[in-house]
Structure 1
Amino acid sequence: MTQLANPDLAARARTLLDLHEAPEILTLANVWDVVSAQVVADTGARALATASHSIASSFGYADGENIPLELHLDMVRRIVQAVDLPVSMDFEAGYGNPGETARRAIEIGVVGGNLEDQMKPLDQAVAAVEAVMAAGREAGIEFVLNARTDAVLRADKGAPRAQTIDEAIRRGRAFLEAGAPVVFVPGLVARDEIQTVAQAFGPRKLTVISVPGVSLPVSELQELGVARVSTGPFTQRVALTALQDAAAALLAGGTLPAGTRPLN
């Protein structure tokens, strides 16, 4: 049974969905703790997305649902409470129960999420998408599921590239038909492939990840009809690279970088 949604939660969900459907691409610099969320929010970001890899790393866990769900949810809850923006949570493959995980995420104020298919049989992957969307309806919100297919990431190296792209399109269309507003296809970086998949899904339906030194500029992704670009673990790696470089310079007899700002 559909519940009477918290008005603020419903409004945040609607805002996040509107941001995906608007002509302007939604750019999300993924966050992993309260201070990273606050720093990104202060740039004028319109929404936030968490990075499961980065949150796990912060607690000493490897990526891949190794961090306990309770600990993962607790950090996301802290992020949600620290900012006045819609927050989307990366809940990996759903911790064995995508619908229940989505319900628990919604309870702490999350209004969108990433769900990996891990190339499971398509009927199972579609059922997982349907379970997450049902959790949103039960909560009375328009949950923004960024349904992820690993068709490109997990493709056999010897497989014809056109076959790999066709499989990503097949799975992505199935997720869209199951109710997901957008589909995430990590591994797409070439202009022609992004354009092919974006056209196959329809306007404002494709999400890609920005990979340092490889990906197209956000402005060009917008021209290709991409709905959303995120950064996954790469924003944390940017921060850690700066930290390690600064520490190395200091240990070598230098100083900390000029221009360092008091952001916390």
Structure 2
Amino acid sequence: MTDMQQAKFERFRAMHWDKGAFVMPNPWDAGTARILTQMGFQALATTSAGYAFSVGKRDSHAGLTRAEILENARQIVEATHLPVSADLEDGFGFAPELCAETVELAVGVGLVGGSIEDATGHPHAPIYETMLAAERVAAAADATRGKPFLLTARAENFLWGRHDLKDTIERLQAYSEAGAHVLYAPGLSDINDIRTLCREVDKPVNVVMGLVGPTFTVSELAEAGVKRISVGGSFARAALGALMRAADEVLEHGTFRYAKDAARASTLTEMMSDAKATDRT
């Protein structure tokens, strides 16, 4: 841990208690981290989906190793002066002590936050039983004590077809009691459900926008009680969508009109590091 990491953490923590809501977008590599930093955001979060797509893998519990996720996070941390939180999936293991170990490793790569979810990755039993899920959060929270790290607990019901708001709220309440600092239920698509959830929990709430379905403005979400807004893998999918449209134009029409909407090379060059390679062999 460094003084810089501590300062990033204190700034990140304060954002969760400031007035209104803030957007925390999700870069998937160092380059996109530099772009989003210079565009004026206050904090960043990693995306396992965006990173998986960038290295030709599926976004799944079995698709990426913990070492890969943390190395990607390290590269993003080193590319920005902003606080960075990480998608730590299910903590990379069933046992609570593995969640704790993952948090300790996340602190070690310079992250000042991260999320642990209650999804198992198994289609026939997709969500951990509430008591075990809370024990996993408690172990992760214990690992943050005395460290510059904000723990987010995720209730994944709505991403797995379990549209049970009551159970989702009860889970988040249990995770809050277990020591989570931020609460997150991805997949909520009704503003009244979001408002109810924010009213029924005692910690700052994160929501994700950019998924398929209804979207709301930053001001609408802030009015509902949301504190933090992430975009998950949707920026990565937007970028890949532009790539696919450009490729389709060339293949189907033999034209290159897509280039007029492309970012200028000079603009991107200014946003990137000017560090020189010390060994080019």
Length-normalised TM-score, structure 1:
0.89
Distance in structure 1 (CA, Å) of the matches to 2:113 and 2:250: 41
Residues 1:71 and 2:79 aligned together: no
Name the structure 2 match of 1:10.
6
Structure 2 stretches lacking a partner, 5+ long: 120-126, 270-281
Considering only aligned residues, what root-mean-square deviation do their CA atoms show, in Å?
A: 1.6
Query: Structure 1 residue 259: deviation in Å?
Result: 4.1
Secondary structure of the equivalent of 2:159?
coil
Name which of structure 1's ranges 189-198 and 51-60 shifts more when overlaid on structure 2: 51-60
Deviates more, 1:253-262 or 1:39-48: 253-262
Percent sequence identity is 33
Q: 1:216-231 counterparts in 2 under 5 A?
A: 216-231=216-231
Choose which of 129, 136, 148 in structure 1 pairs with 2:137. 129
Does residue 101 of structure 1 match 2:107?
no
Answer yes or no: is the 8 Å Cα contact 1:133–1:143 preserved in 2.
Answer: no
Q: Contact 1:50/1:87 (CA < 8 Å) preserved in 2?
A: yes
1:155 Cα offset (Å): 4.0
Match for 1:33: what amino acid? D
Q: Counterparts of 1:155 and 1:170 in 2: how far apart (Å)?
A: 17
The 3-state SS of whatever aligns with 1:45 is: coil
Alignment of structure 1 residues 1-264 onto 2, 5 Å: 5-65=1-61, 66-96=63-93, 97-118=98-119, 119-137=127-145, 140-156=146-162, 164-202=164-202, 205-212=204-211, 214-251=214-251, 252-255=253-256, 256-261=258-263, 262=265, 263-264=268-269
Are 1:9 and 1:141, in contact at CA under 8 Å, matched by a contact in 2? no
Deviation at 1:120, TM superposition (A): 0.7
SS in 2 for 1:188: coil
Q: How many residues align?
A: 251
> How far, CA to CA, are the matches of 1:24 and 1:192 in structure 2?
18
Answer yes or no: is the 8 Å Cα contact 1:147–1:184 preserved in 2.
yes
Partners in 2 of 1:129 and 1:6 — Cα distance?
25
Matched residue SS, 2:116: strand
SS in 1 for 2:74: helix
How far apart in 2 are the matches of 1:258 and 1:98? 47
Q: Tell whether the 8 Å contact from 2:195 to 2:225 is kept in structure 1 after alignment.
A: yes
User: Quick check: 1:198–1:225 contact (8 Å CA) kept in 2?
Assistant: yes
- The runs of 5 or more residues in structure 1 that have no matched partner are none
CA contact (8 A) 1:56 1:72 kept: no
Give the match's secondary structure for 1:244. Answer: helix
Distance of 1:27 and 1:123 partners within structure 2:
31
Instruction: Tell me the TM-score normalized by structure 2.
Output: 0.84
Per mean C-alpha deviation after superposition, the further-off stretch among 50-59 and 81-90 is 50-59
3-state DSSP of counterpart to 1:258? helix
CA distance in 2 between partners of 1:219 and 1:200 (Å): 20
In 2: Cα distance, 1:227 partner to 1:179 partner: 18
Contact 1:17-1:142 at 8 Å conserved across structures: no
How far apart are residue 235 of structure 1 and its match?
0.9
- Asked if 1 retains the 8 angstrom alpha-carbon contact of 2:209 and 2:231, the reply is yes
